[in-house]
Amino acid sequence: MRIVLMSLATRLLPVTSVLTASVLLAGCGQLGDSASGDGRRAVASFYPLAWVTERVAGDAWTVENLTQPGSEPHDLSLTIAQTAALEQADLVVLEDGFQPAVDATAAEADAPVLDAAEVVDLLPASETEEEHAAHEEHEEHEESGEEGHDHDHDHGDVDPHFWLDPLKVADLADAVAEELADADPDNATTYTDNAADVRAELEQLDQDYTAGLASCERTTTVVSHDAFSYLSRYGLEFEPIAGLSPDAEPTAADLARLQELIREEGVTTVFSERLVSAKMAETLADDLGVTTAVLDPIEGLSDDTSDEDYLSLMSENLTALQQANGCS
């Protein structure tokens, strides 16, 4: 009789509850293997943050990347499973302003949050001469008490792509180690040691870039979107087709300026990316009879790079830059 009653109770469960549970279980299986680690779970919002967190945490944590390979991180919308994973995490690693959907959910969750933008020194966002002039005019209006036009660009805007500077990634690794140690003091030494190992690798990568780009025939580098400013400290000048957002559309004036620049500077290569359409870069290159190549902003993995990691992709970028700019 007891078995019959349990069966009847099960059949009376609301259909929506069963469906919701199924979705959550299926989604969590896609995010990561929660059976690994020691029961502690960290959620990182996109690939570079996930790579750092996983390297520092080691086997003691399960690290889940909210942005799946092949997805553009700016466009991330959280599923029910991802929202649940974020809310139940022992640590959330994100970069405020880069993925609004993640920011909003994290603000409502009780999970501890490490914001990369607070622990890494970010560069100010670059702006065109027209934008700069507009901002100066806006400031003059404010100082005189006149009403000026509203501008979407905040004067405090920053360039979020810090992970293209290996030394800034090392700074993030140190901050991750501190957060993990706060959550798990017994393994604090392990996290500190792991972060030190990561820093050593990143310092070597920094040295490779410094030496590899020290002597180049050209320094002007045309790229798909404005994601590579952090590499400028190695002596290169990056000219983007689009702005900070990879799906931004360049104006006719932008394209005309780039065409003139490519001719004047003898640029041989226009770089495209893996996660967004290469059409703009290919069209610009075809019009001028130059080649195209891939320079990965490493915002996320693609289907083609799902077996690679941050270090290998940065090394491939270095090789691509050397070939395009005639570096020896």
Surface-to-core class of residue 96, CB atoms within 10 Å of its CB (0-12 exposed, 13-18 middle, 19+ buried):
middle
Q: Which of 53-57, 139-143, 252-256 has the highest mean pLDDT?
A: 53-57
Q: Is 275 within a domain?
A: yes
Domain that holds residue 125: 33-147+158-206
Angle of helix 188-212 relative to helix 47-57, nearest 10 degrees, comes to 130
**43: part of which helix (H) or strand (E)?**
strand 40-44
User: CA gyration radius for the chain?
Assistant: 23
Region 55-60: mean pLDDT is 95
| Number of domains into which the chain is organized | 2
Same domain, 50 and 103: yes
**137: part of which helix (H) or strand (E)?**
helix 129-144
Same domain, 258 and 167: no
Same domain, 175 and 221: no
Q: Is 152 within a domain?
A: no
pLDDT at site 298: 97
Q: What is the DSSP code string of 181-221? A: HHH-GGGHHHHHHHHHHHHHHHHHHHHHHHHHTSSBS--EE
Same domain, 249 and 286: yes
Same domain, 192 and 224: no
Same domain, 45 and 192: yes
Q: What would the two tokens of residue 279 be?
A: 């059409």
Same domain, 291 and 310: yes
Same domain, 134 and 261: no
Same domain, 128 and 39: yes
Q: Is 23 within a domain?
A: no
Q: Is the pLDDT of residue 126 over 80?
A: no
Residue written as token pair 């045309």 = 222
pTM: 0.80
Same domain, 231 and 197: no
**Pick from 274, 162, 255, 272: nearest CA to 221:** 272
Quick check: helix, strand or coil at residue 44? Answer: strand
Quick check: helix, strand or coil at residue 132? Answer: helix
What does the alpha-carbon distance between residue 291 and residue 293 come to, in Å, rounded to a whole number? 7
Q: How do residues 74-120 score in pLDDT, each as one tens digit?
A: 889 999 999 999 999 999 999 999 999 999 999 999 999 999 999 99
State residue 38 phi and psi, 5-degree precision. Answer: -110, 30
Quick check: helix, strand or coil at residue 269? Answer: strand
Same domain, 118 and 56: yes
Q: Is the pLDDT of residue 10 over 90?
A: no
Share the mean pLDDT of the chain.
83
Same domain, 108 and 44: yes
Task: Grade residue 186 by pLDDT with cuts at 50, 70 and 90.
Answer: very high
Q: Is 11 within a domain?
A: no
CATH number for the domain harbouring residue 263:
3.40.50.1980
Q: Is 95 within a domain?
A: yes
Task: Grade residue 303 by pLDDT with cuts at 50, 70 and 90.
Answer: confident
Examine the fold and report which residue of 182, 206, 230 is the final residue of a domain before the chain moves on.
206
Alpha carbon of 217 to those of 166, 234, 325: distances in Å? 24, 14, 6
Sequence-distant (≥ 6) Cβ neighbours of residue 218 within 8 angstroms = 265, 266, 267, 268, 324, 325, 326
Q: Is 92 within a domain?
A: yes
What does the alpha-carbon distance between residue 58 and residue 62 come to, in Å, rounded to a whole number? 9
Alpha carbon of 76 to those of 82, 98, 169, 183, 274: distances in Å? 11, 10, 22, 28, 17
Q: How do residues 309-321 score in pLDDT, each as one tens digit?
A: 999 999 999 999 9
pLDDT at site 2: 36
Q: Is 297 within a domain?
A: yes
Q: Is 21 within a domain?
A: no
pLDDT at site 75: 86
Q: How do residues 134-157 score in pLDDT, each as one tens digit?
A: 444 444 444 444 443 333 333 248
